[in-house]
Amino acid sequence: MEKINLKDLNYKELKDWVLNQNWKPFRANQIAKWLYTKKVDSYDKMTDISKDIREILKKHTQFDSLQLVSYKKSTKDGSIKFLWRLKDKNTIETVFIPEDNHNTLCVSTQVGCAVGCKFCFTTKDGLIRNLSTAEIVDQYLQVQRFVGLEPEKRISNIVYMGMGEPLANYENVKKSIQILTDKNLAGLSNRKITISSSGIIHQILKMYNDKEFPQVRLAISLNAPDQKTREEIMPISQTNKLQELMKVIDNLPLKAGYRIMLEYVLLKGINDRPHHAHKLAKLIGKNKKKFKVNLIPFNPYPEALYERPEEKDILLFQKILWDYDISAFIRWSKGQDISAACGQLRKKEISNLIKI
């Protein structure tokens, strides 16, 4: 019988599993404390749990679902890219991003991606499979364990912006967020978690109508101000039309203080001209306070189809949006020297990374 991973279980499921072992209910809180608060790396370190119970845990459950193969740390900004091997020998990547007053983790949700955005490195492999809940949660737990548990190293922000389309792995992403935000488990703030989607309309609606899906922040990879341009660089727009997407997100019910982020990768000569900025402003329309635009200068990689715009063009694009009173910020990507910047995550030869 295949061992279960307790990190696949939300709090209710963990309690039910404990009761099914004929253990006292408080054992669920003990186990949760060691997994999510202490972030121990083995059952042997759960010192207030009897040895007999620890032996049962070892026999019937697996601990970590990821094996750290290698990592690379940026000499420019301290970002760290991790390469993990999964049980089936596939690999995924995760990026730790230190900020001035917080630390962010960019997690993957799939091995590869089927969306096919032409500017993204990850899609080169196509989609191999979805990650399990435990494989998503373990990225957070193992990176936090790796960088340390000191307060200044605490990961407070999680962005589902790594390999894969999060909403194409709906149930496992949902449960991972339940685990990460449950005060009895990881206890992170809903406001500090962001799901980035290419704009799968029916899945966005499903998420906002799902009472069991914790409301987190939503980012949409927009990347173009008109259907023709978006369809050229994001084939998913053929079935998820831009105008319909904008209508849907314009009418989403948001909690106070929440805004939808529109991610816009600037591609030289493709979507970065002044007339594109004016079109984008008109597309956003009157409900501009509901949105924030993140402008992301393209990060070139070998054999890329596109180029990075000139800095003056990036700044002009931002200025035009601000002139429309649209909040627009340039996201100068971190981790570029280790191929960890936005759109660059893809498994590479292990020899290109620092061996453990």
Q: Does residue 93 have an active-site annotation?
A: yes
Instruction: State both tokens at 133.
Output: 């809940």
| Local structure of 297: helix, strand or coil | strand
Rg of the chain's alpha carbons, rounded to an integer? Answer: 21
Out of 93, 135, 165, 263, the active site residue is 93
Q: Does residue 263 have an active-site annotation?
A: no
DSSP string, 244-275: HHHHHHHT----TT--EEEEEEE-TTTT-SHH
Enclosing H/E stretch for 201 = helix 201-209
Out of 106, 117, 120, 342, the active site residue is 342
Distances (CA, A) of 143 to 1, 94, 158, 159: 29, 8, 12, 14
Give the whole-angstrom CA distance, residue 343 versus residue 72. Answer: 17
Other CB atoms within a 10 A radius of the CB of residue 318 amount to: 18
Other CB atoms within a 10 A radius of the CB of residue 158 amount to: 25
Q: Which residues are known to be catalytic?
A: 93, 342
